[in-house]
Chains A and B, each alone.
Chain A
């Protein structure tokens, strides 16, 4: 991407991320913050914290699934804006809602699980915001920095839990946020395992040379199925290891079937699973070539 393109992209992110705040200011000017402005401000700022946090966490899965890598450099900016909204959300609670009523604040933090979760989520974001500069990456070293910044996953989970725990019965939004987060983290987890296995299996032929991890959704899904087969084979293997006495009998008929799958999967992974191999394989491996 050109320098100018990058600058335009950044400007777009600034505008996009600041517009919810500008909308709130506009509503303040036009006296349109509902009959309960404090609650409206708190809820809106909290909402945008989670939305931006989810957005910043969606950029990596975007690359994993679709090979779209250009938004990756925006993670930091969007993440910092999430922290910005989280801080405002907290400030409204501290200053306007509770007005520095420290005993009440402390009691809330200790007694109300949803406040505890929210406070933890915000606290975990502080070191990430502090170490977000390029200089800090250098000072910490890339590996330590990356490890530290994995805290964002914990923070996001706590943020989603915070929302679920505070909401009344019948609200769907908190669960949809949690669902999206689970999906985003799940994609990472599966991708992580995939990379681990790839390293262990010495780069199977059809993945060779793919060092940049740019993969298509189709390729990714194929590997996912292979992985599922492999895991079930592992599971099967455990039974084989412990396969004496009662265990064997409990495994029953499924045992043999899974064994076949494992062989099929292994075959599917070893070859570049192109057309023509299907007939020889079991159902599990045939799945890997479905056009998703």
Chain B
């Protein structure tokens, strides 16, 4: 995979300081370009993005991006796992309109010095937005490549100043059966997920520069079916670790309970790092189907980010802590 193998750029080469210093000017220019071209600057060939989604221009950060071609916008928005809308892949696109991503606030608290409730529009301005092209590897052995827009979660976490006792970060998705119809308990209530959807990371994972607090994709704000208005993207882990439509970020001492791990602990671990050598009990994780490709391809350890993140797990047995 190109990540890691591509020639390493130094920090100075990547971060175009002029751009960051003149961010406003750049944003205006990019917005104009977006309007003029009717597409996003960073994602050529992405397919048509509906005009209803506001543009969210950001400069691509190649230091943390794969060079693989991105999937089409319509692939990324019609084939989703978002169980709040239903268990089928087309449920999120079909029912996504029920979700109201504005107004939206996120409570950031727990073991922090400065807990705060943020409006999502303010949160978006907390740090410079950048585009990151990440492969998304689903635990179901399919994958796509998506240009996300956001900034490292660490920027937010540093703002609220974690206390020394904080070891984990827990994410909570919105609980509202009006907007998420599948949160209504089914008639035959058995075997589902516990709502609200909960996910979590170890604090060092959450602070890793790859962990992206995400507000958009394909040059626009997030579509509802992709976790609007705010989600995380943790590219070296299976997709279910990347919580969507987040309303709460809580720093805690103990490893938090997480949705899929609670529902089927033998199948979905807390760490859930992409690992071709540890199979899901019911299927192999050695290969994956990249949407749009005919043949299966080999799955890369840590989804291609081994060089960046493997050191987080030194001394751990990832067969046990899958």
A38 touching B289 by the CB < 8 A rule? yes
- Let me know if A196 is at the binding interface, CB within 8 A: no
A35 touching B282 by the CB < 8 A rule? no
- Let me know if A165 is at the binding interface, CB within 8 A: yes
- Let me know if B257 is at the binding interface, CB within 8 A: no
Across the interface, B87 reaches (CB within 8 A) one of A97, A98, A108, A171, namely A171
- Let me know if A34 is at the binding interface, CB within 8 A: yes
B296 touching A99 by the CB < 8 A rule? yes
Across the interface, B283 reaches (CB within 8 A) one of A101, A112, A171, namely A112
Using CB atoms, name the residue of chain A closest to B80.
A35
B interface SS class: loop
B191 touching A35 by the CB < 8 A rule? no
With A168-B87, A169-B193 as contacts: A112 and B282 at CB distance below 8 Å: yes
User: Which residues, 236 to 265 on B, are CB-close (under 8 Å) to A?
Assistant: 260, 263-264
With A35-B74, A169-B263, A169-B264 as contacts: A114 and B186 at CB distance below 8 Å: no
- Let me know if B75 is at the binding interface, CB within 8 A: yes
CB-CB < 8 A to A169: which residues of B? 191-193, 260, 263-264
Query: What's the minimum C-beta distance from A104 to chain B, rounded to whole angstroms?
Result: 7
- Let me know if A170 is at the binding interface, CB within 8 A: yes
CB-CB < 8 A to A23: which residues of B? none
A112 to B282, CA, bound (A): 6
With A35-B74, A39-B289, A169-B263 as contacts: A114 and B282 at CB distance below 8 Å: yes
User: Which residues, 77 to 104 on A, are CB-close (under 8 Å) to B?
Assistant: 96-99, 101, 104
CB-CB < 8 A to A36: which residues of B? 79, 89, 142, 289, 291
Q: How many residues of A contact B (CB 8 A)?
A: 24
Across the interface, B78 reaches (CB within 8 A) one of A34, A114, A166, A171, namely A34
How many A-B pairs have beta carbons closer than 8 Å: the answer is 61
- Let me know if A1 is at the binding interface, CB within 8 A: no
- Let me know if A107 is at the binding interface, CB within 8 A: yes
B295 touching A34 by the CB < 8 A rule? no
B186 touching A172 by the CB < 8 A rule? yes
A170 touching B192 by the CB < 8 A rule? yes
A165 to B281, CA, bound (A): 10
- Let me know if B26 is at the binding interface, CB within 8 A: no
Q: What 0/1 pattern do residues 260 to 298 of B give for CB contact below 8 A with A?
A: 100110000000000000010011101101011011100
CB-CB < 8 A to B144: which residues of A? 35
Query: What's the minimum C-beta distance from A98 to chain B, rounded to whole angstroms?
Result: 7
Using CB atoms, name the residue of chain A closest to B262.
A169
Query: What's the minimum C-beta distance from B199 to chain A, rounded to whole angstroms?
Result: 16
- Let me know if B90 is at the binding interface, CB within 8 A: yes
A96 to B295, CA, bound (A): 8
CB-CB < 8 A to A34: which residues of B? 78-79, 89-90
- Let me know if B83 is at the binding interface, CB within 8 A: yes
CB-CB < 8 A to B286: which residues of A? 104
User: Which residues, 26 to 85 on A, are CB-close (under 8 Å) to B?
Assistant: 34-36, 38-39
Query: What's the minimum C-beta distance from B231 to chain A, rounded to whole angstroms?
Result: 19
B295 touching A35 by the CB < 8 A rule? no
A112 to B286, CA, bound (A): 14
CB-CB < 8 A to A104: which residues of B? 284, 286-287
CB-CB < 8 A to B193: which residues of A? 169-170
CB-CB < 8 A to A170: which residues of B? 83, 87, 191-193, 263
Query: What's the minimum C-beta distance from B217 to chain A, rounded to whole angstroms?
Result: 15
A101 to B296, CA, bound (A): 10
Query: What's the minimum C-beta distance from B232 to chain A, rounded to whole angstroms?
Result: 22
CB-CB < 8 A to B79: which residues of A? 34-36
- Let me know if B21 is at the binding interface, CB within 8 A: no
A168 to B296, CA, bound (A): 21
Q: What 0/1 pattern do residues 70 to 93 of B give for CB contact below 8 A with A?
A: 010011101100010001011000
Given contacts A35-B292, A112-B284, A169-B264, 7 further A-B contacts (CB under 8 A): A35-B78, A98-B296, A101-B296, A104-B287, A107-B284, A169-B263, A170-B263
**Across the A-B interface, the 4 shortest Cβ-Cβ residue pairs:** A35-B79, A35-B75, A170-B192, A169-B263
Question: What are 21 A-B interface contacts by the 8 Å CB criterion?
Answer: A34-B78, A34-B89, A34-B90, A35-B76, A36-B289, A39-B289, A99-B295, A101-B296, A104-B287, A107-B284, A108-B284, A111-B279, A112-B282, A114-B282, A168-B87, A168-B140, A169-B192, A169-B193, A169-B263, A171-B87, A172-B188
